[in-house]
Structure 1
């Protein structure tokens, strides 16, 4: 009795136990006839045991199929746990992107407002502290983004290596591949934008 991985094993039908053959009365029989009668009784008992043994074999195969199905499900759950861990790392990188974007955008806005206001004469400030504060926020956002990208890449490399090792040992399925991380691509693009913002601010400061 076998079953495929996609099908649930079929439980054997319950066997109605037949009564044991009655012990023949041979005390008053001829020895030869008694011997034949007892031999027939032993044959009936053997047939009865054979039927029970076949049913036990079917139940054993059923338990083996159940165990195989449980192992298959456990392997798939482990594979899905890797996917959930990957998605959790993606969400962590998204949080880093949001924080870094807020710092870069807010810092660049502060720098531009105070720089343009000072150049146009609307703001009478003789110190570059507000502009430096804006530049510091942008640099902090870029630094946070660099740390987040490096951590994400190292974590994903470790996760991939562990998953590949478990796939080679047959502990998990390797059917679902890891897709391209668009979150990582977005983080890299934002990093370039942040570096460009820093270069722009440095040139503005040098020119002013």
Structure 2
């Protein structure tokens, strides 16, 4: 059993900008989390649209493993879905700024220490999130895709505010999703594209031919 890492005084929990930005802890009020599951979801409430980034650091190795965190915001709730690759301690650092602030550097707003007692589930990287994936974008499924998953009939369901069209693009082949209410959904056969990048692209502007990449899976 690994020992808890030594942390600087004041490292854990709320940092100076947290309350100023209108943030509050929703799912985990205490900054030290002990979990018997290596898949957890941390939620914060926000009062205004924010841009948020994170760092997930394995305390044993010092490695950053942020590819195992997926962030999305819906109705004022910021959700961090986290898959921990192995048991042990992790530092989870959150950074935020108002969405309309052009500063390149986001201040640290909250820090967690996660103690994962058991890592029973296999973990896979989440899709890469591009800058266009902003407040209000919400991926219902699939949160992960990998070569050993069932790829023959993958169901996609996503909310992208302001999108006129959404398509899954695999090796030059476009599969358009259908708009249903406030979301887009549809099925795609990705079996022929193992070893390729698969992207989710959205048209949000006046030019119907221009699509921005929102998410990128590697299968």
TM-based fold match above 0.5: no
More helix by share: 1
More strand by share: 2
What TM-score do you get using the length of structure 2 for normalisation?
0.17
**Bigger radius of gyration among the two:** 1
